[in-house]
Structures are given as structure tokens and as C-alpha cells.
Amino acid sequence: MPLFLKGVNWRPIVEIFILWLVIYRIFLFLKGTKAQYLLRGIVILIVAFFLSQKLGLYVMSWLLTKFFAFFLILVAIIFQPELREGLVRLGRRHIFYVEPKQEEVERTIREIVSATNILSKKKIGALIAIAREMGLKEYIESGVKINADVTSELIQTIFSPLSPLHDGGVIIGGIKVLSAGCLFPLTENPQLDRALGMRHRAGIGLSENSDALVIILSEETGNISLAINGQLTKDLSPADLHTILKGQLVRVRR
């Protein structure tokens, strides 16, 4: 054991650190999903339980214990798909997962912006989602899996009006086009501009339900919009889009 640790009980620190990492990962996984509201409930329950124990409120503590056990079973049933996805992700990433190099991410951004620029000039509608921390598995599976390197030509081909996949959205993960012709959930935000079409509503809907960045190209005007966390930024220039994507995607540390 190192000399500076002699006489110091380091085990609690290590245990709390491991616990913190696990809890933080769970929070990060649930952030931005519908389950985050449930998570708030769990945190409130834990804090209330701890306080009732410390204050000697034994009836409250007993009730909370019983309720918590029931609550956990309920959570396991309701969030079974999310839990399964979480366990799969836990096994798949973080240990052997190699992050794409920053140069590759920057090249991918350039390809996306180039495709967006060309499609915008030709007034061809497009819907491109860039996945970040949250998995978009259910949306990826609603389309046709591609799993190819992102190139401007590939994106243009997918959205060309004669392509069978041009109607849905494209999902990009890392440096790959994962899937095309995907179905995105429509937003139910009543405050949105009534003039917005289905493509915009689908883009905003996906950004509300995940942490993905969604680029929307209007068929009528060729305008470029970007949806992040349910917020739509309209009329972006290719240079603006490049700057925002770079800021959002390049070297985001957790």
C-alpha cells in the first residue's frame, strides 16, 4: 500500500467513487428520456427515506420501505425495454468501445454539411438525425440498416426523390450512416408554428425524445433548420450549421 494511504481508511472512498460512477452513468442514460421524471421520483424517495430514518420517523420509514419495494417492481415492468437497452449498452460500450478520432468526426461533419448545402440548393427535403449519448435503437430498427461511412454523395443519394428511402429520416451514429428511411415520432408541442410540415414535426419530435441533433431541410424553401432538445433553429447557413455541429459533436467529454 502507498505510504500516504497508511492509516487512512480508503475503502469507503473507493466504494463511494464506484457507486457515484454507476449512479452517474444511470442518470446520464436516463437523461432526456421520459424515464428522467421517474428518476426524480426515485431520488426524492431515497432522500425522504434517509431523512425519515435519521429523524426517527419510523412509521414513515416503514411505509417508504414497503412503497419502494413495490415501486421497484413497477419500474422493472414499465421500463423493461429501456432496462434491456441499458444492459446491452453497458456490455457493449465503455470497456472495448473505441471513440472515433476527432479528425474523423470533423470529416463526417464536413460531409453532412456539404450534403445539406447541395440538397438545400436543389430544394430537396431531408431529415438527418445525429445520435449522441442516447441510443436510437427503436428508430434505427424502423428503417433500413446501412452502416456505411458518412459521405456527402451517400446522403444525397438517399434523399434524391427517386430513392425508395427518401421519405424517412437518416440516422448517423459516430462516423457511420446507421439507417435510412426511419420513422421519427411527431412532436405534440401545441405552441409550434402551424406552418411547420410533418418533416419538421418529426425532427423536433425526435429531438424532444432523445439527445440527437436533427437537421431538417425544407422541400419548399430549401431552408436548413436544426432541432436540439425540442428547440428548432431555423434558416441556418451551411457555415452556421458547421459551427453548431462542431460545437456539439467534437470532443464532448463526460
Q: Helices 35-54 and 11-30: crossing angle, nearest 10°?
A: 150
Q: How far is the CB of 162 from another protein (least distance, A)?
A: 43
**Of the ranges 22-30, 166-174, 191-199, 211-219, which one interacts with another protein (CB under 8 A)?**
22-30
DSSP state of 5: G
Binding flag, residue 251, another protein (CB under 8 A):
yes
Contact between 28 and another protein by CB under 8 A: the answer reads yes
Positive or negative torsion for Cα 138, 143, 148, 150: negative
Residue 63 within binding range of another protein, rule CB under 8 A: no
Q: Does 15 bind another protein (CB under 8 A)?
A: yes
Q: Which of 5, 8, 10, 27 binds another protein (CB under 8 A)?
A: 27
Residue 180: how many CB atoms within 10 A of its CB?
A: 27
Q: CA-CA distance, 213 to 245, in Å (whole number)?
A: 8
Nearer to another protein, 109 or 127 (CB): 109
Cβ density class 214-246: b for 16+ within 10 Å, e for less: bbbbbeeeeebbbbbeeebeeebeeeebbebbe
Answer for which of 5, 8, 10, 24 binds another protein (CB under 8 A) is 24
**Minimum distance, C-beta of residue 78 to another protein, in the bound complex (Å):** 21
Give the footprint of another protein on residues 70-129 (CB under 8 A): 102
Query: Cα separation of 151 and 172, whole Å?
Result: 11
Contact residues toward another protein (CB under 8 A) are: 12, 15-16, 19-20, 23-24, 27-28, 31, 43, 46-47, 49-50, 53, 102, 251-254
